[in-house]
Amino acid sequence: MEGYPAIEDHGVIGDLQTAALVARDGTLTWFCAPRFDSPSIFAGLLDRHRGGYFRISPDGVRYVSKQLYLPDTAILITRFISADGVGEVVDFMPVAGEQPTDRHRIVRVLNIVRGSMRFRVECRPRFNYGRDRHELEIRSDGSVFRSALTTLTLRVSRPVRRLVPEENIRNENGDLVAFATLHQGDRAAVIIDTASPDEPHLIPYEQVQAMFEQTRDYWRGWLDRSRYTGRWREMVERSAITLKLMTYAPTGAMVAAPTTALPEELGGTRNWDYRYTWIRDTSFSVQALLGLGFTDEAGRYIDWLDERVREAGDNDIPLKIMYRVDGSSDLHEETLDHFEGYRGSAPVRIGNEAADQLQIDIHGEALYAMHSADQQGIRASHDVWESTVRLVDWLCRNWDQADAGIWESRHHPRDYTYGRLMSWVAFDRAIRLAARHGRPGDINRWVQQRDAVYRQIMRHGYHPGRQSFVQAYGENVLDAALLMMPAVGFVAPSDPRWQSTLRAIDQDLVSDSLVYRYDPAASPDGLPGNEGTFNMCTFWYAQALACSGRLDDARLTFEKMLTFSNHLGLYAEEIAPTGEQIGNYPQAFSHLSLINTALALDQLHNQRR
């Protein structure tokens, strides 16, 4: 369907409380405020007519556009190159701080490098997912959009009248359209402000420059703390910045992606809301950040995770699989029937009813993260340990039951091998933590349960006919999640059962190095349609190859996967058969697994030398 930029044709900017996407043609297509999970202000990525957008692009001239990040920052530069001139739009969001705020700013700086260029500026907000009407007031020092619940202020830098004379500004049914001709050396800025600032709307350009420098210095100072010096430094550091952009600073929680309803299959129905914090994603991210030396961020994630463990343990209930960034768990799912969806991919969903699923594996991922953090000196407090003990005791009583699994099947519950694997991890890491620090707990019981899980997986999770560990007991379907088996220490990479499992995954789930999660045709998940290869699974595959003695294959797989990133080094959730990126974007799973795989490959390569 025409009118939609490709998912991968976007860069992401953010202020550590929310984020925005900017397409290669200068169109801001996605922005929610004041938080990642708030209603949208611009959602043109989900409906080109009803979603709203903010475009700054050349007018009346043929041009080529390029995008890059200012090195070592989250400042996005979109360049427009024509025969008459070269212009840039520099997009960034000043960091909002660690206190929740309703004020979020997107700064869009126009800069002419050579010649001259006429720009068309269109600001067409659609508040509350396009459900709320608004009015526009055009003022001499800026403009104000007002809906029933939201005010959006558009501020401009001096000298606005020379660059944008009054006759070049108009109100089109509540939307702002303006034209500006800039010449070499001209600079102007337009600032979206989600609050109604007390200061004048017309601001000196020097103030804009100060915001730019503060934002630049923040990101470069943050990245300077990375200790990664391996061969894939540029990709690893871009992934680290991307994970940081998906972090909600007031609580330290990380969203799975800043978007909702981007499809896993074009025209399909697998369109989910990922603007929440999964226990699984947070747990895996701890390992990635610790590996890079970002102990403060890992500590904040652990603090957030500890709060969820305390809530569950104190109430003798399982962990929820996902939460809002503030720790609440009301994620009521609904569809936006008035949105057509990205390239016609409906339904468009907000909220996520999978939040109420039972997924046994997340307890193991939580304990895995706590153990990794403990190894780096981030120790759980007494109160958190007491809650952890109660949670592990709950798992002793409940691990041996069917659940929805890591892939959140909306089909009937099953006895997933991966869920049992991570139950083994939960018991194993709890035993290690208790022994390391002399912490109290029913260690004998945990050992008995750990060993029982191990024996059950070896008896029922391994299919002799397939010569492979399988997705669920009594079935013969493969599952890429089982690539984690050697990584968590459940099985030795040289074990014949693991080697034959890896060969089976090679044959059934791998397509030119890209890896499917599972075969939906062989393993019905309660949903119509298909999906692409799953980026995280491809990175897991590279890591599994490396630890299994196939380091050259692992490096080739990893290098091939790097070619599927977009022009900025960003990844969505999946790769379509056509090579396009699909699914919510950018995806935390993809970037944290890239980091973990790069760290593992560097370590194994250095050991072999």
The confidence score (pLDDT) of residue 524 equals 58
Mean pLDDT of 33-44: 97
> Out of 66-70, 282-286, 446-450, which region has the weakest mean confidence (pLDDT)?
282-286
**pLDDT greater than 90 at residue 49:** yes
The confidence score (pLDDT) of residue 141 equals 72
User: CA angle 37-39-42, nearest 5°?
Assistant: 110
Token duo for residue 319: 């962990």
Dist. CA 373–CA 379, nearest whole Å? 7
The confidence score (pLDDT) of residue 159 equals 67
The confidence score (pLDDT) of residue 274 equals 97
Q: How confident is the model at residue 1 (pLDDT cuts 50, 70, 90)?
A: very low
Q: Which of 128, 144, 147 is nearest to 136 (CA)?
A: 144
Mean pLDDT of 277-297: 93
Q: How confident is the model at residue 248 (pLDDT cuts 50, 70, 90)?
A: very high
| More confident position, 426 or 603 | 426
* pTM across the whole model: 0.95
**pLDDT greater than 90 at residue 325:** yes
Mean pLDDT of 441-451: 98
| Helix (H) or strand (E) segment spanning residue 11 | strand 10-14
Token duo for residue 372: 């990794």
CB atoms within 10 A of CB 488: 16
Determine the CATH number of domain 233-608.
1.50.10.10
Give yes or no for a contact between 51 and 43, defined as CB atoms under 8 angstroms apart: yes
Mean pLDDT of 344-369: 94
Q: What is the pLDDT of residues 169-209, one digit of tens each?
A: 889 999 999 998 999 988 999 999 998 766 667 888 999 99
Q: What is the pLDDT of residues 543-593, one digit of tens each?
A: 999 999 999 999 999 999 999 999 999 999 999 999 999 999 999 999 999
* Percent share of the chain, pLDDT over 90: 83
**pLDDT greater than 90 at residue 42:** yes
**pLDDT greater than 60 at residue 214:** yes
What's the CATH fold of domain 10-212?
A: Beta-galactosidase; Chain A, domain 5 (2.70.98)
| More confident position, 74 or 156 | 74
Q: What is the pLDDT of residues 216-234, one digit of tens each?
A: 999 999 999 999 999 999 9
How does 545-568 read in b/e, with b if 16+ C-beta sit within 10 Å?
Answer: bbbbebbebbbebbeebeebbbeb
**pLDDT greater than 80 at residue 445:** yes
| More confident position, 162 or 367 | 367
For residue 476, what are the CA distances in angstroms to 166, 367, 423, 470? Answer: 70, 29, 21, 6
Tell me the three state secondary structure of residue 45: coil
**pLDDT greater than 70 at residue 523:** no
| Helix (H) or strand (E) segment spanning residue 30 | strand 27-32
**pLDDT greater than 70 at residue 161:** no
Ranges assigned E (strand) in 59-213: 64-69, 76-81, 85-92, 105-124, 134-139, 142-147, 151-157, 169-172, 175-183, 187-193, 202-203
The confidence score (pLDDT) of residue 530 equals 73
Question: Fold match between 10-212 and 233-608?
Answer: no
Most confident of 155-159, 163-167, 281-285: 281-285
| More confident position, 609 or 59 | 59
The confidence score (pLDDT) of residue 312 equals 87
| Helix (H) or strand (E) segment spanning residue 226 | none
Q: What is the pLDDT of residues 481-505, one digit of tens each?
A: 999 999 999 999 999 999 999 999 9
Q: Which DSSP symbol is given to 280?
A: H
Q: How confident is the model at residue 412 (pLDDT cuts 50, 70, 90)?
A: confident
Parse the chain into domains and list their residue ranges: 10-212, 233-608
User: CA angle 255-230-560, nearest 5°?
Assistant: 70
The confidence score (pLDDT) of residue 519 equals 80
**pLDDT greater than 70 at residue 164:** no
